[in-house]
């Protein structure tokens, strides 16, 4: 009857008996079923295969028997599947079509003896494949090692034989191939693979001797600790130094992650993402947290074990927390208020006892008395220095008048065109050096023709992104001034917020809100480790479209972005889109609304051909770029690749009489090929309308409404039993979006339509 429940976290207990089949039904929206580490017996109920929203399944570490239900490959939203360490029999489960699977562990079961199953090379999202002791035989298909996201393959203790060919097109993320205790007699092209290969206890090692590196098992140790650059500054007593170089008594505990979607545990990037996600959540809930620190000691673990991450949470403004602070932090972590990054999956938290609370009023009374006496003496000193302070202040104001950073950005040769900003702060270069630890390499998060981007942290704990232009950058004073002025007056949830800037000693630095998950380009290319399925891509398209529609419809004057591309769409912690980089954007006065003659600027491949040839810029130029972006979203291809233009390629290949318009070869496998991509044809139709001649293109407001309709269609397909379309989508993907009325209107700053 728990049809609205999303989590069954019942692992690591002493549950026994059979799993009752009646607890699962097709009406459920469960995303996590964790029953691992219990004493369950009997078979896996086939009703579990009816819960199509399921993303994580763990039933490992029990005594389950019988075959895996044949309907399991209906679970096309499944990301992680752990069936290991049971007594399962029958054929190896058929995972064909489960294209979102990233982590599969079905080790130590007694399946029927079989060759490598045909689904091995088809799971395009796979990072980890573990099938130890599952009676596999024959040769391993070389195509398995070419899966784009593959990190780990463990197939030891089987009867795999013949020649091992890893091939020359294997994934560069592939860090471990463990084939111990098999019957492999030959290795092809071993020089093409430079990571860890283990062939101990195979005939090849008996013939070549144990001197080969792949014939011995090496155990590498790895540890991670949050970066500190504080220098020699020991803390008094038993206080601990925080990442922000403050001594305090942190609240400590352990986070246990039970279903990671990655297995490269030595990659520091994952833990940095987790730290940033924690800090974002603490700030969002307005908790008194200055910084967090993570520690892992040799986390290379058996897949059946949970990843244990030691957490230290440091207080803000004090050396210790009060009871309310500890309670709030513990509640947020223990009651799943904190949503860990998607790649970490479900977790639980166990906090340590905290004994260093801020002192109570009673115990502090003696200090209050002493403070009153000392305060009286200090007050006299303050009064004497007051007059002098006022004098210094007046002198300082005169100096500031002559060194005003805003005046330095006066770009008008005829005077009068000062920088117009509101709500944007001027930062000193010294401040930004402090926030970025002197622009350290460790804090560098991106680079381009303009310069570099660094991650920083304000004294409040808020994370910021700092874009520092190169001295030789093409971005001159005008672009720098334009971005500051435009972003200081546009505010929308789908536009990146500008917090401030620095213009000092020839430096041009912009300070933005930090957007956790980087650019859309990184996600589509696989660099960020984030997998975007069809619904998430629709959500990204909707967010970017809303941001653009706001610029065109609601900004005063309207703004043309001029450089819409995947590198300028950033994704926050919930994978919502934010449009960024307004350096070449163009505000339009009322008399320029029809067209603007201007110097051509933009990025080839995304640029409107009519604008390129005629130098006439309109909002429809942004619409064209957005159409190219839509095609990039579904193909994960660059607009121009190997001399081929994505718009022309799609136009030539499209056949509306065939399934998915005959575009299968162009679609990104990670989008969920093999699942029902409801609405994809309408999405392609809209994209192609956006790249027609300017007069035939829709407005961005119309684009927003059409993507909304497509999302409703796709959402209904995900959960036909839902009573509300928007609720269905919210339950399935944990995202939210608001609906636009059909009547004509404009966007307000929160992304909601208002009547004209």
263 or 141, higher pLDDT: 141
Token pair recorded at residue 504? 């000092």
Say how many residues make up the chain.
756
Give the residue ranges of DSSP H helices in 513-618.
520-525, 534-553, 609-614
Token pair recorded at residue 667? 């679609």
What's the pLDDT score for residue 565?
A: 96
Q: What is the dihedral of CA 10, 13, 16, 20, to 10 degrees?
A: 0
DSSP annotation of 391: H
Low-confidence winner among 330-339, 465-474, 543-552 (lowest mean pLDDT): 465-474
Which H or E run contains 126?
none
Specify the 3-state DSSP secondary structure of 109: coil
Q: What is the dihedral of CA 267, 269, 274, 280, to 10 degrees?
A: 180
- CA–CA distance, 102 with 149 (Å, rounded to integer): 8
Q: Residue 724 pLDDT more than 50? A: no
What's the pLDDT score for residue 753?
A: 38
Low-confidence winner among 27-36, 195-204, 305-314, 394-403 (lowest mean pLDDT): 394-403
Tell me if 140 sits within 8 A of 116, measured CB to CB. Answer: yes
What share of residues in the chain are helix, strand, coil (percent, to 5)?
30, 20, 50
Which class is 223-351 in CATH? Answer: alpha beta
| Chain centroid, CA 651 distance in Å | 32
Mean pLDDT of 416-429: 68
Q: Residue 712 pLDDT more than 60? A: yes
659-684 pLDDT, tens per residue?
Answer: 999 999 999 988 987 678 899 999 99
Specify the 3-state DSSP secondary structure of 467: strand
- This prediction has a pTM of 0.52
CATH number given to 7-197: 3.80.10.10
446 or 67, higher pLDDT: 67
Average pLDDT, the chain: 81
Tell me if 621 sits within 8 A of 595, measured CB to CB. Answer: no
| Chain centroid, CA 258 distance in Å | 19
Q: What is the 3-state secondary structure (H, E, C) of 664-726?
A: CCCCCHHHCECECCCCHHHHHHHHHHHCCCHHHCCCHHHHHHHHHHHHHHHHHHHCCCCCCHH
Which H or E run contains 341?
none
85 or 227, higher pLDDT: 85
Instruction: Kindly indicate the confidence band of residue 614, based on its pLDDT and cuts at 50, 70 and 90.
Output: confident
- CA–CA distance, 624 with 607 (Å, rounded to integer): 7
Q: Residue 720 pLDDT more than 60? A: no
Q: What backbone torsions phi and psi does residue 470 show, to the nearest 5 degrees?
A: -70, 155
- CA–CA distance, 431 with 415 (Å, rounded to integer): 30
Tell me if 454 sits within 8 A of 436, measured CB to CB. Answer: yes
What's the pLDDT score for residue 365?
A: 46
Q: What is the dihedral of CA 77, 81, 87, 88, to 10 degrees?
A: 30
Give the residue ranges of DSSP H helices in 321-467.
323-334, 365-402, 429-435
What's the pLDDT score for residue 584?
A: 86
Nearest Cα residue to 734 out of 503, 535, 485, 521: 535
What's the pLDDT score for residue 543?
A: 96
Instruction: Kindly indicate the confidence band of residue 420, based on its pLDDT and cuts at 50, 70 and 90.
Output: low
What's the pLDDT score for residue 654?
A: 93
Domain over 520-755 is classified CATH 3.40.50.300: no
For residue 490, count other CB atoms closer than 10 A to its CB: 22
**R_g (Cα) of the chain, nearest Å:** 29
99-157 pLDDT, tens per residue?
Answer: 889 999 999 999 999 999 999 989 988 999 999 999 999 999 999 998 988 989 999 99
Q: What is the dihedral of CA 56, 60, 61, 67, to 10 degrees?
A: 150
What are the residue ranges spanned by the domains of the chain?
Answer: 7-197, 223-351, 361-392, 425-513, 520-755
Specify the 3-state DSSP secondary structure of 327: helix
Token pair recorded at residue 107? 């080790």
Token pair recorded at residue 279? 């800090």
Q: Give yes or no on whether 425-513 and 520-755 have one common fold.
A: no
What's the pLDDT score for residue 354?
A: 92
- CA–CA distance, 744 with 701 (Å, rounded to integer): 9
Which H or E run contains 468?
strand 463-469
DSSP annotation of 519: B
Report CA-CA distances (Å) from 333 to 252, 307, 318, 337, 488.
12, 16, 21, 6, 35
Q: Which residues pair with 105 in a beta bridge?
A: 82, 130
Which H or E run contains 68?
none
What's the pLDDT score for residue 693?
A: 92
Tell me if 352 sits within 8 A of 255, measured CB to CB. Answer: no
| Chain centroid, CA 210 distance in Å | 43
- Catalytic position from the list 290, 563, 608, 668: 563
Helix axis angle, 700-718 relative to 680-690, nearest 10°?
A: 170
426-469 pLDDT, tens per residue?
Answer: 888 899 999 988 888 888 888 776 788 999 988 887 889 999 88
Q: Is the N-terminal amide bond of 465 cis, ω within 30° of 0? A: no
Tell me if 627 sits within 8 A of 689, measured CB to CB. Answer: yes
416 or 239, higher pLDDT: 239
Tell me if 601 sits within 8 A of 581, measured CB to CB. Answer: no
DSSP annotation of 400: H
- CA–CA distance, 647 with 322 (Å, rounded to integer): 59
285 or 546, higher pLDDT: 546
Of all residues in the chain, the percent with pLDDT exceeding 90 is: 42
What's the distance, Cα to Cα, between the start and end of the chain in Å?
46
Q: Residue 722 pLDDT more than 50? A: no
CATH number of the domain at 425-513, out of 3.40.50.2300, 3.30.200.20, 3.60.150.10, 3.50.50.60? 3.30.200.20
DSSP annotation of 347: E
Q: Residue 192 pLDDT more than 70? A: no
Q: What backbone torsions phi and psi does residue 247 show, to the nearest 5 degrees?
A: -85, 135
* Non-local CB neighbours of 718 within 8 Å, separated by 6+ positions: 52, 53, 535, 728, 729, 732
* Non-local CB neighbours of 365 within 8 Å, separated by 6+ positions: none
Which H or E run contains 270?
helix 268-284
Q: Is 87 annotated as a binding residue?
A: no
Helix axis angle, 700-718 relative to 725-733, nearest 10°?
A: 70
Q: How are strands ordered across the β-sheet holding 251-257?
A: 223-225, 289-297, 307-315, 251-257, 347-351
Q: Residue 597 pLDDT more than 70? A: no
Active site residue 563: yes
| Residue carrying the six token digits 């977790």 | 347
Report CA-CA distances (Å) from 543 to 520, 539, 751.
12, 6, 9
Nearest Cα residue to 59 out of 78, 79, 44, 74: 44
Token pair recorded at residue 379? 């007050």
């Amino acid at each position: 009857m728990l049809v609205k429940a999303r989590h069954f976290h019942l692992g690591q207990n002493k549950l026994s008996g059979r799993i009752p089949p009646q607890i699962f039904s097709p009406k459920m929206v469960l995303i996590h079923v964790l029953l691992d580490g219990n004493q369950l017996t009997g078979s896996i109920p086939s009703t579990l295969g009816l819960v199509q929203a399921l993303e994580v399944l763990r039933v490992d570490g029990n005594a389950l028997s019988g075959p895996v239900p044949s309907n399991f490959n209906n679970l096309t939203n499944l990301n992680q599947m752990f069936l290991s360490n049971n007594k399962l029999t029958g054929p190896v489960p058929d995972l064909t079509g489960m294209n979102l699977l990233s982590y599969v562990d079905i080790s130590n079961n007694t399946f029927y003896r079989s060759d490598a199953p045909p689904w091995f090379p088809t799971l395009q999202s796979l990072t980890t494949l573990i099938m130890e002791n599952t009676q596999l035989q024959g040769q391993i298909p070389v195509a398995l090692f070419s899966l784009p996201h593959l990190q780990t393959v463990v197939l030891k203790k089987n009867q795999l034989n013949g020649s091992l060919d890893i091939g020359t097109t294997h994934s560069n993320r592939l860090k471990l191939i463990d084939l111990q205790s098999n019957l492999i007699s030959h290795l092809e092209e071993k020089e093409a693979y430079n990571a860890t290969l283990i062939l101990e206890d195979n005939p090849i090692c008996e013939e070549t001797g144990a001197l080969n590196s792949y014939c011995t098992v090496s155990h590498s140790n790895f540890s991670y600790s949050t970066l500190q650059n504080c220098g020699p500054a020991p803390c008094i007593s038993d206080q601990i130094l925080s990442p922000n170089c403050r001594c305090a008594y942190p609240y400590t505990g352990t986070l246990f992650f039970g279903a990671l979607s990655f297995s490269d545990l030595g990659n520091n990037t994952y833990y940095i993402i987790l730290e940033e996600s924690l800090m974002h959540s603490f700030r969002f809930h307005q908790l008194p947290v200055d910084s967090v620190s993570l520690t892992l000691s040799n986390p290379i673990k058996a897949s059946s074990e949970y990843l244990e991450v030691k957490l230290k949470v440091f207080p803000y403004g004090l050396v210790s927390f009060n009871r309310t602070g500890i309670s709030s932090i513990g509640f947020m972590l223990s009651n799943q208020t904190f949503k860990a990054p998607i790649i970490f999956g479900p977790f639980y938290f166990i906090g340590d006892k905290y004994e260093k609370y801020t002192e109570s009023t009673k115990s502090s009374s003696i200090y209050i008395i002493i403070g009153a006496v000392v305060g009286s003496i200090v007050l006299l000193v303050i009064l004497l220095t007051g007059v002098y302070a006022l004098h210094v202040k007046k002198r300082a104001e005169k100096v500031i008048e002559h060194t005003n950073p805003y005046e330095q950005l006066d770009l008008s040769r005829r005077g009068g065109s000062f920088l117009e900003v509101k709500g944007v702060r001027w930062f000193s270069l010294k401040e930004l050096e402090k926030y970025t630890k002197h622009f350290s390499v460790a804090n560098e998060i991106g680079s381009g023709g303009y310069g570099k981007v660094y991650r920083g942290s304000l004294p409040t704990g808020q994370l910021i992104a700092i874009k520092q232009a190169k001295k030789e950058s093409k971005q001159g004073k005008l672009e720098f001034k334009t971005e500051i002025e435009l972003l200081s007056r546009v505010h929308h949830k789908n536009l990146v917020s500008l917090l401030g800037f620095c213009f000092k000693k020839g430096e041009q630095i912009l300070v933005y809100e930090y957007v956790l998950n980087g650019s859309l380009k990184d996600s589509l290319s696989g660099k960020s480790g984030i997998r975007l399925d069809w619904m998430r891509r629709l959500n990204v398209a909707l967010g970017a479209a809303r941001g653009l529609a706001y610029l065109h419809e609601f900004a005063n004057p309207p703004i043309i972005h001029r450089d819409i591309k995947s590198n300028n769409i950033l994704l926050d912690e919930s994978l919502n889109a934010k449009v960024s980089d307004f350096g070449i954007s163009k505000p339009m006065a009322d008399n320029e609304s029809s067209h603007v003659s201007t110097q051509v600027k933009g990025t080839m491949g995304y640029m409107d051909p009519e604008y390129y040839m005629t130098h006439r810029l309109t909002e429809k130029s942004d619409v064209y770029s957005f159409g190219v972006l839509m095609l990039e979203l579904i193909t994960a291809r660059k607009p121009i690749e190997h001399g081929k233009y994505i718009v022309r390629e799609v136009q030539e290949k499209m056949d509306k009489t065939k399934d998915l318009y005959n575009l299968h070869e162009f679609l990104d496998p990670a989008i969920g090929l093999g699942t029902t991509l409801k609405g994809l044809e309408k999405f392609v139709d809209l994209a192609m309308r956006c790249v027609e001649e300017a007069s035939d293109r829709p407005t961005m407001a119309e684009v927003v409404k059409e993507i909304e309709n497509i999302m409703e269609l796709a959402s209904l397909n995900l959960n036909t039993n839902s009573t509300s379309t928007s609720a269905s989508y919210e339950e399935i993907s944990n995202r939210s979006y608001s609906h636009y009325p059909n009547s004509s209107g404009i966007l307000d700053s929160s992304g909601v339509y208002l009547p004209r």
